[in-house]
């Protein structure tokens, strides 16, 4: 690993216009991502966790060039990316989506689904592409007899394997995984997680792993970023995050995960109510209305990112 990050998301913001009325006027802006800076190194897995609607998928889309940030730069191995198109063309970053039932075209055969990225990027002759397709399917635990079949003939886990084969078909350096296992059963989930780990070792991939499940993230990731309402509230190495979580939100998330051991009863409820409407986020620290440790300053000023140790930074007044 070098000092230079492979992918650097520098001060990214993304706002979506909300349009209303006969003349489709922009009435408000939904700020999905706010000044997020995140570096991802070669061969590393970064986890991105948070509740639904906190902007983690938006950030994932920006990272692989499917969406354009309203502000900030995407820097790929030291080079600024001018337009999202360049990022897409570079085929260095690919994506795996959450729902394997809607991410595969039901009218295409598996052969076409997996080989399409190679055909678009013109990676070899027809024969070469076909050979590579069957070897890719074997790599993800399927076989070449599955090539002429349609997606509906497969179970959820197998479909996710097809999606993984498609993502790694053009030899990417990094894969953005947007909740790849949350639609699967536990036993299948474990199979897919093992597969992702093995592929990472074989192909030296970096992952940006988006999930809401902290136990899954713990298994796969080396560094974890916690998002709340469009902002990174804590970023830490795995060990630090799980042993000494700092932000009250991180602690609440960890306490909410049910542990399969009746002796460890979940602790008193830490957060109440639901995340606020992102259209009108509360002033100051966005988390303060739900925070068990809020102070007077929290509703007035927005906290900055404080570095607690080389491996851990947190955005909270408790540590400033």
Partner 1 sequence: MQPVLEINNLTTTLFLKKGPVRAVDNVSLTLSQGKSLALVGESGCGKTMLALSILGLIPSPPGRITSGQVVFAGRDLTSLPERDLRAIRGNDISMIFQEPMSALNPVFRIGAQISETLIFHKKLTKNQVKSRRIELLKLVGIPAPEKRYNDFPHQLSGGMRQRIIIAMALACSPRIILADEPTTALDVTIQAQILDLIKDLQEKSKTSTVLITHDLGVVAQICHEMAVMYSGRIVEHGDVAEILSNPGHPYTRGLLNSLPRLDRDKDLSPIPGTVPEISSLPQGCHFHPRCPQRMDICSKQDPPVVESKSKIRCWLYND
Would you tell me which residues interact with partner 1 (CB under 8 A)? 51-52, 155, 157-158, 185-191, 193-194, 212-216, 218-219, 242, 252-266, 269, 271-274
- Point out which residues pair with 226 in neighbouring strands: 49, 234
**Residue 2 or 243 with smaller CB distance to partner 1:** 243
Contact (Cβ atoms closer than 8 angstroms) between residue 100 and residue 69 = no
Distance of closest approach, residue 265 Cβ to partner 1, in angstroms: 7
**Residue 120 or 259 with smaller CB distance to partner 1:** 259
Distance of closest approach, residue 70 Cβ to partner 1, in angstroms: 26
Pairing of strands 174-178, 45-49: unpaired
**Residue 76 or 227 with smaller CB distance to partner 1:** 227
Distance of closest approach, residue 172 Cβ to partner 1, in angstroms: 24
Contact (Cβ atoms closer than 8 angstroms) between residue 40 and residue 222 = no
Contact (Cβ atoms closer than 8 angstroms) between residue 100 and residue 160 = yes
Nearest to 214 by CA among 168, 175, 179: 179
Distance of closest approach, residue 274 Cβ to partner 1, in angstroms: 6
- Point out which residues pair with 25 in neighbouring strands: 20
**Residue 24 or 186 with smaller CB distance to partner 1:** 186
Nearest to 162 by CA among 189, 177, 178, 143: 143
Contact (Cβ atoms closer than 8 angstroms) between residue 277 and residue 260 = no
**Residue 64 or 183 with smaller CB distance to partner 1:** 183
Distance of closest approach, residue 253 Cβ to partner 1, in angstroms: 6
């Amino acid at each position: 690993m070098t000092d230079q990050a492979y992918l650097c998301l520098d001060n990214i913001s993304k706002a979506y216009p909300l349009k209303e009325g006969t003349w489709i006027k922009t009435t408000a802006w939904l700020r999905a991502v706010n000044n997020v800076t995140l570096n991802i190194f070669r061969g590393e897995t970064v986890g991105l966790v948070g509740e639904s609607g906190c902007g983690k998928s938006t950030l994932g889309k920006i990272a692989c060039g499917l969406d354009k940030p309203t502000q900030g730069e995407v820097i790929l191995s030291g080079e600024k990316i001018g337009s999202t198109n360049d990022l897409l063309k570079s085929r260095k970053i690919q994506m795996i989506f959450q729902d394997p039932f809607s991410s595969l075209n039901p009218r295409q055969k598996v052969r076409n689904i997996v080989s399409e990225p190679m055909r678009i990027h013109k990676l070899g002759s027809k024969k070469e592409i076909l050979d590579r397709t069957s070897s890719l399917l074997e790599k993800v635990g399927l076989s070449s007899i599955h090539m002429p079949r349609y997606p509906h003939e497969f179970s959820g886990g197998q479909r996710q394997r097809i999606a993984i084969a498609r993502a790694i078909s053009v030899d990417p350096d990094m894969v953005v995984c947007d909740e790849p296992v949350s639609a699967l059963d536990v036993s299948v989930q474990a199979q897919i997680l093992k597969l992702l780990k093995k592929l990472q070792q074989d192909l030296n991939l970096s992952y940006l792993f988006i999930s809401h499940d902290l136990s899954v993230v713990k298994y796969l990731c080396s560094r974890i970023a916690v998002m709340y309402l469009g902002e990174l509230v804590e970023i830490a190495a795995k060990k630090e995050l799980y042993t000494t979580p700092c932000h009250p939100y991180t602690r609440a998330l960890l306490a909410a995960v049910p542990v399969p051991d009746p002796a460890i009863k979940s602790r008193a409820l830490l957060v109440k109510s639901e995340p606020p409407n992102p259209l009108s986020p509360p002033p100051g620290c966005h988390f303060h209305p739900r925070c068990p440790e809020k102070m007077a300053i929290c509703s007035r000023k927005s906290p900055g990112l404080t570095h607690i140790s080389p491996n851990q930074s947190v955005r909270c007044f408790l540590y400033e």
